[in-house]
Amino acid sequence: MLSITKIFNRKQNRSEHEADSLGQPTVPLIVSRDQHNLSRSQVSPQALKVLYGLKDAGFEAYLVGGCVRDLLLGYEPKDFDVATNASPEEVHKLFKRSRLIGRRFKLVHVGFGREVIEVATFRAPPEAEQHIDQHGKIVQDNVFGTLEQDAWRRDFTINALYYNIRDFSIVDYTGGINDLQAGKIGLIGDVETRYREDPVRILRALRFVGKLGLTLERDTEKHIKGLAKLLQDIPPARLFDETLKLYLSGKAVETHQLLVEYGIFGHLFTDSARLLASEPESTAAKLLTRALENTDTRIKEGKPVTPAFLFAAILWGPTFARWQNYQDKKIPPLPALQKAANELISKQVQRVAFPKRLTLVARDIWLLQIRLTMRQGKRAFRLLTHPKFRAAYDFLLLRSDAGEPFEELSQWWTDFQFADESEQQKMVGELAPAPSKRKRRRRRGTTTKKSVVVSTNQAS
């Protein structure tokens, strides 16, 4: 898998490098082009244009981060990041189709069609007191530096490898080549300090373990459980971004397992984590596993994945439990589910800020679970045209697969979708009749009233 076998004998010593990081400049390990297999043909043409554009203007230009790591490991990179000694303004001037972004990190996005290349100027480590808050977290990080300084402030050694467009060599200051060869993920520098500076590194560590199948270096692993609570201070919008990366990496099953194992899942999805821990064999737990398996399969097959579906699956356990609870208190099924869904969603988004466009879809998926059981008359036909029918139907299949008693219902809907109109009419005709109109009208009135009461309660 690893394409840098030729330099196996050039071992580096992590502690030597740590010592160096505190003071004098280090001599990096330079892996020349003939000693590694990262080839320009694997690099996106857009990234190459940026690299050459910078080089031709007299600047240093390197590919860095996940793309170098993934290419050396034999994976296709998700995106290409570039590091340079040109200032963001200089980069912006150089590329017509580019824009300056970011406040904490000032970056340039060079956009060519759908692909955006992120260009960052080398950064110096945050030293001045005003750049770090009282918990050790970096709050300002815009001091430009050298390539070497840039390397030391990155998170993991395997993410601090630079591919130099001048001679196609790989530059390694922090021992990343060594760690890649050993299959290790290690934070650069003092582990506790680095987690405190940015607790999201905990999520990143587990994501890379899940995604790349590497193992955590001892210290990098040791501090995770103790420092996980620092994730509470991370803004919910950032946690949303990171959560998506965790679950859409193509290794959601493994990654989720790790999140649970290291006690991180509870910091992201408190209610779900509590329920899954107390009832690991529940249908909700099985449903989540199935949903994650499906997500991974879809990603492998290049099919789109909707994060709303994932959200619906992760939160189904506590939503379902609360729904049952309200029904036990004699609230009718629909308002009971609406109330449960609204409450769970508003609590959850305070932690991980799933945007409304996604939570509304998740809510639809849940509420349609009730409509899927009501098929008489024109209802089944109407439901088929609902924009979220397909997602709700898939969710019903998952519930059935996970052991909820919906085998017959799922089969009915599967058949119904593929039947022609006369067969569909027949299928609906064979169902037990719907409650009489008079009765139904009266019930509807009751339901509406109650749901009004429910939403009034919530607003208060």
Give the whole-angstrom CA distance, residue 179 versus residue 209.
13
**The token pair that represents 367 in the structure block:** 């509420």
Q: Least distance from C-beta 116 to ligand ATP, angstroms?
A: 12
**Residue 66 within binding range of ligand ATP, rule CB under 6 A:** yes
Give the whole-angstrom CA distance, residue 417 versus residue 426.
13
Q: Least distance from C-beta 191 to ligand ATP, angstroms?
A: 13
**Residue 81 within binding range of ligand ATP, rule CB under 6 A:** yes
Please indicate whether residue 141 is annotated as part of the active site: no
# chain residues binding Mg ion, by CB under 5 A: 2
Residue 155, binding choice from Mg ion, ligand ATP, none, Cβ under 5 to 8 Å by partner class: ligand ATP
Stretch that binds ligand ATP, among 77-85, 355-363, 377-385, 452-460 (CB under 6 A): 77-85
Give the whole-angstrom CA distance, residue 101 versus residue 88.
9
Q: Considering just the CA atoms, what is the radius of gyration of the chain in Å?
A: 27
Phi, psi of 231 (to 5 degrees): -65, -20
**The token pair that represents 401 in the structure block:** 């697969």
Hey, which residues between 230 and 289 contact ligand ATP (CB under 6 A)? Answer: 245
Question: Cβ closer to Mg ion: 79 or 198?
Answer: 79
Question: Cβ closer to Mg ion: 204 or 339?
Answer: 204
Per-residue CA distances from 366 to 106, 332, 414 (Å)? 41, 15, 18
Query: x-or-dash pattern for ligand ATP, window 141-170, by CB under 6 A?
Result: -------------xx---xx----------
Stretch that binds Mg ion, among 59-67, 151-159, 226-234, 374-382 (CB under 5 A): 59-67
**The token pair that represents 90 in the structure block:** 């200089």
Burial readout 27-60 (b: 16 or more C-beta within 10 A, e: otherwise): ebbebeeeebebeeeebbebbbebbebbbeeebb
Taking each continuous run of H as one helix and of E as one strand, the counts in the chain are 23, 10
Give the whole-angstrom CA distance, residue 146 versus residue 148.
5
Nearest Cα to Cα of residue 206 among 194, 221, 219, 223: 221
Per-residue CA distances from 401 to 54, 160, 365 (Å)? 54, 43, 17
Question: Cβ closer to Mg ion: 79 or 254?
Answer: 79
Residue 392, binding choice from Mg ion, ligand ATP, none, Cβ under 5 to 8 Å by partner class: none
Among 53, 66, 175, 199, contact with Mg ion (rule: CB under 5 A):
66
Question: Cβ closer to ligand ATP: 154 or 339?
Answer: 154
Strand partners, 170: 31, 163
**The token pair that represents 195 in the structure block:** 């987690």
Q: Least distance from C-beta 254 to ligand ATP, angstroms?
A: 15
Q: Least distance from C-beta 57 to ligand ATP, angstroms?
A: 23
**Residue 79 within binding range of ligand ATP, rule CB under 6 A:** yes
**Residue 203 within binding range of ligand ATP, rule CB under 6 A:** no
Nearest Cα to Cα of residue 210 among 235, 246, 177: 246
Q: Spot the catalytic one: 70, 141, 150, 155.
A: 155
Strand partners, 98: 110
Q: Least distance from C-beta 258 to Mg ion, angstroms?
A: 20
**Residue 200 within binding range of ligand ATP, rule CB under 6 A:** yes
Q: Spot the catalytic one: 20, 79, 133, 190.
A: 79
Please indicate whether residue 81 is annotated as part of the active site: yes
Give the whole-angstrom CA distance, residue 203 versus residue 258.
10
H/E stretch holding 133: none
Distance of CA 180 to the CA centre of its chain: 23
Residue 198, binding choice from ligand ATP, Mg ion, none, Cβ under 5 to 8 Å by partner class: ligand ATP
Question: Cβ closer to Mg ion: 71 or 358?
Answer: 71
Q: Least distance from C-beta 206 to Mg ion, angstroms?
A: 16
Side chain identity at residue 283, one-letter code: T
Among 196, 201, 251, 375, contact with ligand ATP (rule: CB under 6 A):
201
Q: Least distance from C-beta 79 to ligand ATP, angstroms?
A: 5
Stretch that binds ligand ATP, among 98-106, 193-201, 318-326, 352-360 (CB under 6 A): 193-201
Local structure of 264: helix, strand or coil: coil
Cβ-proximal residues to 404 (8 Å cutoff; 6+ apart), any chain: 283, 287
**Residue 65 within binding range of ligand ATP, rule CB under 6 A:** yes
# chain residues binding ligand ATP, by CB under 6 A: 13
Which positions lie near Mg ion, rule CB under 5 A?
66, 79
For the annotated catalytic residues, the residue numbers are 79, 81, 155
Which positions lie near ligand ATP, rule CB under 6 A?
65-66, 78-79, 81, 154-155, 159-160, 198, 200-201, 245
